[in-house]
Amino acid sequence: MTALDFQALAPHLTLTGGLMVVLLAVSFWRSHRTAFALTLLSLAAAFIALWPGLGAGPRAVTPLLMLDAYAAFFNGLFILIGAVTALLAHRYLEGRAGSQEEFHVLLLAATLGAMTLASAQHFAALLLGLEILSISLYAMVAYPEEDHPPLEAALKYLVLSGVGSTIMLFGMALIYHATGALGFAELAAFAATGDRADLWLSAGLVLFVIGIAFKLSLVPFHMWTPDVYQGAPAPVTAYLATVSKAAVFAVLLRFAVDAQLLDLSSGAQVSVAMLFAIIAVLSMVIGNVLALLQNSIKRLLAYSSIAHVGYLLIALLVLNALPGQPMAVETALVFLVGYLAMTLAAFAVVSELSSAADGERDQIEEYSGLFWRHPVLASVLTAALLSLAGIPLTAGFIAKFYLFAAGVDGELWGLLWAMVVGSAISIYYYLKIVFAMTVRGADAPAIPASFAGVATAAVLGVVVLAIGIYPTPLIGLASDIAQGLRLTP
Amino acid sequence: MTAVSVPIEHVLVLAAALFTIGLVGVLVRRNVIFLLMSLEIMMNACGLAFIAAGARWAEADGQIMYMLILALAAAEVAVGLGLVLQLQRRFDNLDIDAASELAG
């Protein structure tokens, strides 16, 4: 490795260093405040290190990692979301008996895993990143271990995410058997020349898609999602719904661009594009319908996130319909940023109303009258929910509008119908919560929110509106990054 | 040096059979310890498939993937057994259905 390689890896190395510092500090000096401050410092240092990293140019460090603007974009998002999660978790864990410090170590490790996924260009890096992320998350979900729901959620997550990982691994092994390639670029070379009708290759691709669908919690592999989201502590749910999904989608999109995943199967017995289209339609329709039946806001948001990842798959299929055009990648990035902002804002409010000591506050009745009890949090939640419903002047509208335009260009009519129907259904259950918040409630429990947490939620609410009102900088950034990828027609 | 060699396809079929046994175990078994064991069988089936595929291309990559899978399985089981201990200590039960409170 040369000096330039180390420079390109700067964000990963900085975060690894920070992780070690927090780990050592925690083992010698138990203080939640110190661990929290060091965590924020490490994340800030890693964020600053993104620029020297970009300065090394798009660079493949070993055959495993590709450090380009695309990776840096996702790394920046993951670091920011990690910082928000640390801020929310600090207050959430405060009143709890036992030690709080290790949570921050796990959070840094999970962020490192997500960053590895965003820069992976090889099956080995994909596996490592995915598992660093997932295994840290199992422990984060179970962190308030004195309570029943987190333990149960962690166990369910461990078993079902483990099954998803192994299915994906078996798929990778079969793809390797058929093609002799583990790197994305080598797979693309195979797609150009090799025998794509091989039965083992088809089986491997199907298993790989199923594994990805498990990780992105897409219908029909979504059954773990509502339980895990409900049982996990609210700040961890926020992290699960944002970083773990965006990281898996980041690597899927890079795989689709570099290795021509959707093209690998043409001429074979199965079409990966067809599989993804079916999964997307099922996720959009079933996710939205099941969300109607929920009384827990965390379960409701879990189903709505299933539907949103279903929408996101449209961008992936546009890539297949219009190969070689950066528009699909640009759309996916814009949609993802919108989704991350509004989901994080919604969960930030849920988290600020809950605490490890008093338990989760996630039933919709408990939100009645929130406008009178805590106007700031209620406004942020309203902005987030309206945005999730796709109301104009919010990030969600821009995201869906972009996706719709891309879908029209790709002529994916069936998927667009599913998206329209799904969005129409979704307006009902989002507005149900907004209306509940305006009802004057009687005796309500005290709100444990801290100033830092409310400020974080407020900033997220402003971001949701800002993207909706003035999306030009985001679109410009997404377009630059999409142009920088090696798109092959 | 070897007179008889095993065709790669046979090894893959064996791996697929092991994988199916593990998957059925995860779906059928209700005791958490057995769930973790079934998961372990699935992971080892993946490892076997990688080694067979590596042998086909005469590359070390398959074996390296196996080492990564070993490390991953160990880490996953370490967290899993930690959860099992907590579950046993606090709720005195290792049945995953009896532990089910969240509306499914």
What would the pLDDT profile of A119-177 be if each residue is shown by its tens digit? Answer: 999 999 999 999 999 999 999 999 988 888 899 899 999 999 999 999 999 999 999 99
**Strand locations in A351-430, DSSP E?**
none
Which residues are paired to A8 by β-bridges? none
C-alpha distances (whole Å) from A336 to each of A247, A408, A474 are 10, 19, 11
pLDDT at residue A268 greater than cutoff 60: no
pLDDT at residue A267 greater than cutoff 70: no
pLDDT at residue A369 greater than cutoff 60: yes
Does the beta carbon of A166 lie under 8 angstroms from any beta carbon of chain B? yes
Does the beta carbon of A62 lie under 8 angstroms from any beta carbon of chain B? no
Q: In the A/B pair of chains, how many CB contacts fall below 8 A?
A: 134
Q: Give the type of residue at B44.
A: N
Of A187-191, A255-259, A267-271, A377-381, least confident by mean pLDDT is: A267-271
Provide the pLDDT confidence category of residue A393 given band limits of 50, 70 and 90. very high
| Token couple for B97 | 């259905």
Provide the pLDDT confidence category of residue A53 given band limits of 50, 70 and 90. very high
Q: If you average pLDDT over residues A449-476, what whole number do you get? A: 95
| Coil, strand or helix at A60 | strand
| Coil, strand or helix at A120 | strand
Q: What is the pLDDT of residue B104?
A: 45
Nearest Cα residue to A388 out of A374, A378, A398, A377: A398
- The C-alpha atoms of residue A159 and residue A138 are separated, in whole angstroms, by 10
How distant is the Cα of A165 from the closest Cα of chain B, in angstroms?
A: 9
How distant is the Cα of A200 from the closest Cα of chain B, in angstroms?
A: 10
Q: What is the pLDDT of residue A139?
A: 95
Give the angle subtended at the CA of A202 by the CAs of A159 and A185, to the nearest 5°. Answer: 90
CB contacts of B92 in chain A (<8 Å) are: none
Does the beta carbon of B89 lie under 8 angstroms from any beta carbon of chain A? no
Q: Mind spelling out the 3-state secondary structure of chain B?
A: CCCCCCCHHHHHHHHHHHHHHHHHHHHHCCEHHHHHHHHHHHHHHHHHHHHHHHHHCCCCHHHHHHHHHHHHHHHHHHHHHHHHHHHHHHHCCCECCCCCCCCC
Low pLDDT (below 50) residues in chain B: 1, 104
CB spacing of B76 vs A135 below 8 angstroms: yes
Q: If you average pLDDT over residues A287-294, what whole number do you get? A: 95
Contact yes or no for A314/A412 (Cβ under 8 A): yes
Nearest Cα residue to A259 out of A162, A377, A122, A446: A122
pLDDT at residue A190 greater than cutoff 50: yes
Instruction: Name the average pLDDT for chain A.
Output: 92
DSSP 8-class letter at A183: B
CB spacing of A177 vs B15 below 8 angstroms: no
Nearest Cα residue to B59 out of A206, A129, A63: A63
Provide the pLDDT confidence category of residue A198 given band limits of 50, 70 and 90. confident
Nearest Cα residue to A312 out of A409, A419, A205: A419
Give the angle subtended at the CA of A227 by the CAs of A123 and A91, to the nearest 5°. Answer: 90
Stated pTM of the model: 0.95
pLDDT at residue A445 greater than cutoff 80: no
- Render pLDDT for A225-262 as a digit per residue (tens, 0 to 9): 999 999 999 999 999 999 999 999 999 999 988 877 77
Which residues are paired to A355 by β-bridges? A359
- The C-alpha atoms of residue B42 and residue B26 are separated, in whole angstroms, by 9
Contact yes or no for B13/A137 (Cβ under 8 A): no
**Token pair 């279903």 is at which residue?**
A310
Of A202-206, A341-345, A466-470, B43-47, least confident by mean pLDDT is: A202-206
- The C-alpha atoms of residue A175 and residue A208 are separated, in whole angstroms, by 9
Contact yes or no for A294/A225 (Cβ under 8 A): no
| Token couple for A463 | 């971001």
pLDDT at residue A90 greater than cutoff 50: yes
Burial A317-347 (b: 16+ CB within 10 A, else e): bbbbbbeebbbbbbbbbbbbbbbbbbbbbbb
How distant is the Cα of B6 from the closest Cα of chain A, in angstroms?
A: 15
Q: Give the type of residue at A302.
A: A
Q: If you average pLDDT over residues A277-294, what whole number do you get? A: 95
Cα radius of gyration rounded to whole Å, chain A: 21
- The C-alpha atoms of residue A220 and residue A122 are separated, in whole angstroms, by 27
Instruction: State which residue of chain B sits closest to A182, comparing Cα positions.
Output: B61
- The C-alpha atoms of residue A57 and residue A79 are separated, in whole angstroms, by 20
Mutate to test the interface with B, among A159, A172, A200 (most CBs of B within 10 A): A159
Q: If you average pLDDT over residues A46-68, what whole number do you get? A: 92
Q: What is the pLDDT of residue A295?
A: 92
CB contacts of B100 in chain A (<8 Å) are: 152
Q: Give the type of residue at A288.
A: N
- pLDDT, greater one: A258 or A222: A222
CB contacts of A146 in chain B (<8 Å) are: 90
| Token couple for B12 | 């893959």
Instruction: State which residue of chain A sits closest to B12, comparing Cα positions.
Output: A174
Nearest Cα residue to A109 out of A6, A15, A29: A15
Provide the pLDDT confidence category of residue A269 given band limits of 50, 70 and 90. low
Pairing status of strand A65-67 against strand A59-61? antiparallel
Of A106-120, A166-180, A317-331, B29-43, least confident by mean pLDDT is: A317-331
Q: What is the pLDDT of residue A443?
A: 63
Q: Percent helix, strand, coil in chain A (nearest 5)?
A: 75, 5, 20
Of A281-290, A354-363, A415-424, least confident by mean pLDDT is: A354-363
Burial A230-264 (b: 16+ CB within 10 A, else e): bbbbbbbbbbbbbbbbbbbbbbbbbbbbbbbbbbb
- Render pLDDT for B38-55 as a digit per residue (tens, 0 to 9): 999 999 999 999 999 999
Q: What is the pLDDT of residue A270?
A: 67
Q: What is the percent of chain A where pLDDT is above 70?
A: 97
Contact yes or no for A67/A74 (Cβ under 8 A): no
Mutate to test the interface with A, among B20, B77, B102 (most CBs of A within 10 A): B102
Q: If you average pLDDT over residues A92-104, what whole number do you get? A: 88
Interface of B with A in 45-64 (CB under 8 A): 45-46, 49-50, 52-54, 56-57, 59, 61-62, 64
CB contacts of B23 in chain A (<8 Å) are: 163
Nearest Cα residue to A36 out of A96, A113, A103, A112: A103
For residue B101, the tally of other CB atoms under 10 A from its CB is 15
pLDDT at residue A486 greater than cutoff 80: no
Q: What is the pLDDT of residue A339?
A: 97
- The C-alpha atoms of residue A28 and residue A256 are separated, in whole angstroms, by 46
Q: What is the percent of chain A where pLDDT is above 90?
A: 75
How distant is the Cα of A160 from the closest Cα of chain B, in angstroms?
A: 9
Q: What is the pLDDT of residue B98?
A: 67
| Token couple for B98 | 């009896």
Alpha helices (H) in A216-296, listed in sequence order: 224-231, 234-239, 245-258, 261-264, 272-291
Q: If you average pLDDT over residues A23-36, what whole number do you get? A: 93
